């Protein structure tokens, strides 16, 4: 628990570092440009497709007709955008995590390593290629879990539980490998995950809940469509900062855990045996315990 709290406040303090703030703007610019392009070309066709699908549902048409009769016809216009945003939000969260992992995590890991662990040996137990494939595999599992869990989102408590849990598991899988790949050997990484699995998973789930905070901005973007062009980049930037914080938190925690692990092993092995002194060697040779050295 001490390690968990110590790494938490250190990560929060590092979020104010100028390098971290500047790095957080790069994914924001990239994702905002992609979101603007997709929205410009695909928003209207997607909106028409969703509305057509909604109108084909008899029960939904009856509900919308009842809302029109109650004077709440404006909800009909907002329902299709709301569906699109709710379906796009998990994808945006996952893409934000992957963009941060690729563009920001290496730099923030080096920042933590240089300032706190300059003497920690880098044993290169992982590779970028393996990390990319592992991240893509975990992302695919998370996407499948999100799709399968969508029907449960309509149960009020579960919509606040399932998506953050899935995002948290994905954050745990991606960040744990990325922050240990360069410094730890494969066996050291396995030992740390085995020893600290619950704490690392808890860190991922907590950051998953923090990542759900921008959902309020998404909801505001639906209710006030004129503000959506401003609120969407702000929400993306918040996602970026949340996952940047998670990368710093995992970096502080995992590197400290690695340093502790190596310290424990050094204590177990004990100090290296001292080399025999020349006088001792000479005495042993004179006693016939060792061959006399050549003249």
Mapping DSSP onto H, E and C, the string for 75-142 reads HHHHHHHHHHHHHHHHHHHHHHHHHHHHHCHHHHHHHHHHHHCCCCCCCCCCCHHHHHHHHHHHHHHH
* Type and span of the H or E element at 61: helix 58-69
Whether the Cβ atoms of residue 58 and residue 135 lie closer than 8 Å to each other:
no
* Structural domain total, the chain: 1
Residue 54: CB atoms within 10 Å: 16
Domain that holds residue 141: 2-37+81-266
What is the per-residue pLDDT for 72?
59
Residues 109 and 252 sit within 8 Å (Cβ to Cβ): no
pTM, two decimals, is: 0.71
Cα–Cα distance for residue pair 101/93, rounded to 1 Å: 12
Query: How many whole angstroms separate alpha carbon 174 and alpha carbon 64?
Result: 42
Q: Does residue 110 lie within any of the structural domains?
A: yes
Q: Residue 285: what pLDDT? A: 47
Q: Is residue 13 part of a domain?
A: yes
Find the distance separating the first CA and the last CA of the chain, reported in whole Å: 64
Does 63 fall in a domain?
Answer: no
Residue 58 resides in a domain: no
Determine, yes or no, domain membership for 165: yes
The pLDDT of residue 257 is: 94
What phi-psi label fits residue 31: left (phi over 0), alpha (psi between -120 and 50 degrees) or beta? Answer: alpha
Mean pLDDT of the chain: 77
Over residues 40-49, the mean pLDDT reads 78
> What is the DSSP-derived secondary structure letter of residue 71?
T
In a domain, 220, yes or no: yes
Torsion of Cα atoms, 33 then 36 then 37 then 41, to 10°? 180
Residue 271: the pLDDT is 56
Comparing 247 with 167, the larger pLDDT belongs to 247
Is 212 within a domain?
yes
The pLDDT tens digits of the residues spanning 189-213 come to: 999 999 999 999 999 988 878 876 6
Question: pLDDT-based confidence at 157, cuts 50/70/90?
Answer: confident
Is position 28 within any domain?
Answer: yes
pLDDT of residue 113 exceeding 70, the answer is yes
pLDDT above 90 covers a percentage of the chain that reads 21
């Amino acid at each position: 628990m001490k390690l968990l709290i110590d790494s938490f406040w250190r990560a929060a303090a590092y979020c104010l570092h100028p390098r971290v703030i500047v790095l957080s703007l790069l994914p924001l610019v990239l994702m905002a440009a992609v979101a603007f392009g997709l929205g410009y070309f695909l928003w209207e066709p997607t909106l028409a497709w969703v509305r057509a699908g909604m109108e084909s549902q008899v029960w939904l048409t009856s509900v919308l007709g009842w809302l029109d009769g109650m004077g709440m016809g404006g909800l009909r216009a907002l329902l299709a955008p709301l569906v699109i945003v709710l379906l796009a939000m998990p994808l945006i969260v996952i893409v934000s995590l992957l963009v941060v992992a690729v563009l920001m995590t290496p730099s923030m890991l080096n920042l933590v390593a240089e300032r706190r662990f300059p003497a920690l040996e880098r044993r290169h137990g992982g590779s970028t290629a393996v990390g990319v494939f592992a991240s893509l595999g975990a992302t695919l599992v998370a996407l499948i879990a999100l799709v399968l869990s969508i029907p449960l989102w309509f149960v009020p408590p579960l919509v606040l539980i399932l998506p953050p849990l899935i995002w948290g598991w994905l954050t745990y899988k991606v960040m744990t490998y990325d922050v240990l790949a360069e410094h730890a050997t494969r066996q050291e990484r396995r030992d740390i995950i085995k020893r600290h699995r619950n704490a690392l998973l808890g860190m991922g789930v907590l950051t998953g809940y923090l990542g759900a905070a921008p959902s309020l901005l998404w909801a505001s973007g639906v209710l006030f469509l004129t503000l959506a062009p401003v609120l969407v980049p702000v929400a993306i930037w918040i996602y970026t900062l949340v996952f940047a914080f998670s990368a710093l938190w995992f970096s502080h925690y995992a590197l400290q855990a690695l340093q502790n692990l190596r310290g424990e092993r050094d204590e177990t092995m004990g100090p290296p045996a001292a080399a025999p002194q020349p006088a001792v060697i000479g005495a042993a040779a004179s006693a016939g315990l060792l061959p006399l050295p050549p003249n």
